[in-house]
Amino acid sequence: TGSTITMERSSRTYLNVDAVASWVGVARLLQAIFGCTTFSLVAHRGGFSAAYGSFCISVWCFCFAVTVFILTCEFTRLHGYLSISWGNFTAAFAMLATLMSVTAAVIYPLYVQFDCDSNSCEVRNFRIASTVFAGLLFWAYATEVFLTRAKPGQVTSYMATASGLLKIVQSFVACIIFGALAKDSQYNKYAATQWCVAVYSFCFVMTVVVVALNHFVIVYTFVAILMYVSAAVIWPVFCFDHKYGSPQRPYQCSRAMCPWDNQVVITVFTYVNLVLYMVDLAYSQRIRFVSAH
């Protein structure tokens, strides 16, 4: 009948209260509140400067904008009209926002001064408040990741699984490596270290492709492990061996710009990503084993 059709249509168009009333919805509301508060405090009196400060304020503004977008789409059900995998998108963003927000929460208090000037301590108090809310923002995003992660036996989006979340972490670590490479790491000094840069670049691009397509996960992860093993052996040899580099930090290096420091950062995060890929492969194999039975 006509009334039945009208009721069915209205049931598809009413606002989704669960988008803000569920535990995940509450976490997202807190993300928006904490994010807005953080960058507002910093922009008002907390202050930021240089590349590190610009990175922090960009992270908070970006995360706030995307969170508001997700809340709006969930509340109005507009995400049903988008030609993307909404579950993969929200899971990937929550993981990425967690990593970015914790990085900003650590960097900001390290590169601002908390001393009082001769007139008052108002600026210091704003910076302390900004640091506190930046930490709360990280916990809000981490809570969403915890709530939306795939449970055993649950059918869910790939990006909500441990393997999918690890892909985001791998990409984020690769970005840290690229940042250190760009800051005078002297990677072009040897062909061997240039191979390491090719490994980082290839694995980063392929990880992004896997995230987008969700195919060939196990094969790609195994190949990435082999390539990272080669980089994990080659990079420290050509950076810290007496024959090619320096096993100790050169005395003439400044604190702000020292190629040796960047080489150490790249070495550490090379091994971090290698471990992440190995864990990823182990989990991917587990998924394959369970699904086969």
The pLDDT tens digits of the residues spanning 109-165 come to: 888 777 776 666 777 888 889 999 999 999 999 999 988 887 666 656 777 788 888
Q: What is the C-alpha to C-alpha distance for residues 56 and 62, in angstroms, rounded to an integer? A: 10
Question: Looking at residue 122, what is its pLDDT?
Answer: 79
Computed over every residue of the chain, the mean pLDDT equals: 81
The predicted model scores a pTM of 0.73
User: Looking at the predicted structure, is the pLDDT value of residue 64 above 50?
Assistant: yes
The token pair that represents 45 in the structure block: 């009196």
pLDDT in tens, 178-204: 888 887 777 788 888 888 889 888 988
Q: What angle do CA 129, 28, 126 make, to 5 degrees?
A: 10
User: Looking at the predicted structure, is the pLDDT value of residue 220 above 60?
Assistant: yes
Question: Looking at residue 141, what is its pLDDT?
Answer: 94
Question: Looking at residue 292, what is its pLDDT?
Answer: 38
Q: What is the DSSP letter of 43?
A: I
Question: Looking at residue 11, what is its pLDDT?
Answer: 47
Report CA-CA distances (Å) from 175 to 100, 157, 242, 269: 11, 24, 29, 10
Q: What is the C-alpha to C-alpha distance for residues 107 and 56, in angstroms, rounded to an integer? A: 7
The residue with greater pLDDT, 7 or 225, is: 225
Question: Looking at residue 8, what is its pLDDT?
Answer: 46
Give the pLDDT band (50/70/90) at residue 97: very high
CB 31 within 8 A of CB 140: yes
Question: Looking at residue 290, what is its pLDDT?
Answer: 43
Q: What is the C-alpha to C-alpha distance for residues 260 and 10, in angstroms, rounded to an integer? A: 64
The residue with greater pLDDT, 118 or 61, is: 61
Of 42-46, 196-200, 210-214, 277-281, the poorest mean pLDDT is in 210-214
Question: Looking at residue 153, what is its pLDDT?
Answer: 60
Question: Looking at residue 286, what is its pLDDT?
Answer: 63
% pLDDT > 70, the chain:
86
Question: Looking at residue 155, what is its pLDDT?
Answer: 59
Exposed/middle/buried for residue 194 (C-beta within 10 Å: 0-12, 13-18, 19+):
middle
Q: How confident is the model over 238-243, as a mean pLDDT?
A: 81
Question: Looking at residue 288, what is its pLDDT?
Answer: 46
Of 11-15, 85-89, 218-222, 264-268, the poorest mean pLDDT is in 11-15
Q: What is the C-alpha to C-alpha distance for residues 85 and 213, in angstroms, rounded to an integer? A: 11
The residue with greater pLDDT, 166 or 252, is: 166
The token pair that represents 9 in the structure block: 């249509």
Q: What is the C-alpha to C-alpha distance for residues 256 and 40, in angstroms, rounded to an integer? A: 29
User: Looking at the predicted structure, is the pLDDT value of residue 2 above 60?
Assistant: no
Q: What is the C-alpha to C-alpha distance for residues 150 and 189, in angstroms, rounded to an integer? A: 44
Q: What is the C-alpha to C-alpha distance for residues 151 and 111, in angstroms, rounded to an integer? A: 39
